[in-house]
Amino acid sequence: MTLTSRFRKSFGFAALAGCLLSAGAANAADIVAYENDFEGSLIGSGSATPSAILYGGGNLAINSAPNGQKFLGLDDGTNLGFSNHTITLTLSGLPTYTGFSLAFDVYTIGSWDGNTFGGIGPDLLGVSAKAGSLSIPIGMTTFSNWPSLSQIQSFPETFYAAHPAQTGAVAVDSLGYPTGNGGDATYHITSSWGFGETTDPLTFTFYGINLQGSPDETWGIDNLKVTVSVVPEPTSLALFGAGILVMGAIALRRRA
């Protein structure tokens, strides 16, 4: 950008310099900012510095399903995860990045009723993100654990789409929760967004709305991974080429 502006009268040189710089930067490289399978730690790993806040009562803890699967939930001793809670995860200390990819598993546990109204629903789960002042509504949807009742849910689309109960689930009743209360279902959720360059902290918010509460309708998070797209610094070859072009432009101006 600086070369293009400074030598805008020597358009050929500026354009070629821009091509070299672009070639040096190449495509954005994805790095793991945060990753956690919650098998042993709430802290996780990755290049960013994480901090998490729970709203709605209790404290964050690693829960264990009846089959032994561990996931992020509450410290209330039930091992049933969250209910009408909100969790924020903020990643700071990031390099300059131009977008992110989010992936995680959500466990819907108990008698989720999907899009059903009438005092028992809709049972909603939402995710959003914020990069500096940019707010990103990733999505809000519903889930149902009652295919036998012909209930509908919004996932894999956002609320108020209509799909049969447990559509898109990668596993059903695999965690071992009582099927008489709806059992459980596992969904793998991914979302990717691109935007302008920033070094601002990246915050994700996960929340449940209108749930009947533990032990009836709960949820947990597992296998959470965030990558950010980082544009590499120009290579030495690109810098060398840009330097030659600048010298050439100066020489042309002296002749003019």
Average pLDDT for residues 122-137, to the nearest whole number? 96
pLDDT band at 22 (very low <50, low <70, confident <90, very high): very low
Per-residue confidence (pLDDT) for residue 213, from 0 to 100:
87
Q: Count of domains in the chain? A: 2
The reply to whether 6 and 80 lie within a common domain is no
The reply to whether 251 and 199 lie within a common domain is no
The reply to whether 214 and 256 lie within a common domain is no
The reply to whether 205 and 222 lie within a common domain is yes
d(CA 18, CA 161): 46
The reply to whether 6 and 109 lie within a common domain is no
CB–CB of 30/228 below 8 Å? Answer: yes
- List the CATH number of the domain containing 178: 2.60.120.260
Q: Which domain holds residue 157?
A: 28-231
The reply to whether 160 and 201 lie within a common domain is yes
Q: CB 163: neighbour CB atoms within 10 A?
A: 18
Per-residue confidence (pLDDT) for residue 234, from 0 to 100:
64
The reply to whether 203 and 224 lie within a common domain is yes
pLDDT band at 32 (very low <50, low <70, confident <90, very high): very high
CB–CB of 33/25 below 8 Å? Answer: no
**CA nearest neighbour of 74 among 199, 233, 221:** 221
The reply to whether 129 and 185 lie within a common domain is yes
How far from 167 is each of 79, 152, 161, 219, CA to CA, in Å?
A: 25, 9, 12, 17
What average pLDDT is seen over the chain? 85
Average pLDDT for residues 109-118, to the nearest whole number? 96
**pLDDT score of 8 more than 90:** no
- This prediction has a pTM of 0.81
**Most confident option among 11-15, 52-56, 240-244:** 52-56
The reply to whether 130 and 61 lie within a common domain is yes
Per-residue confidence (pLDDT) for residue 231, from 0 to 100:
81
**CA nearest neighbour of 71 among 224, 181, 193, 183:** 224
The reply to whether 85 and 11 lie within a common domain is no
CB–CB of 206/87 below 8 Å? Answer: yes
The reply to whether 54 and 7 lie within a common domain is no
> Which tens digits make up the pLDDT trace of 179-223?
999 999 999 999 999 999 999 999 999 999 999 989 999 999 999
The reply to whether 147 and 180 lie within a common domain is yes
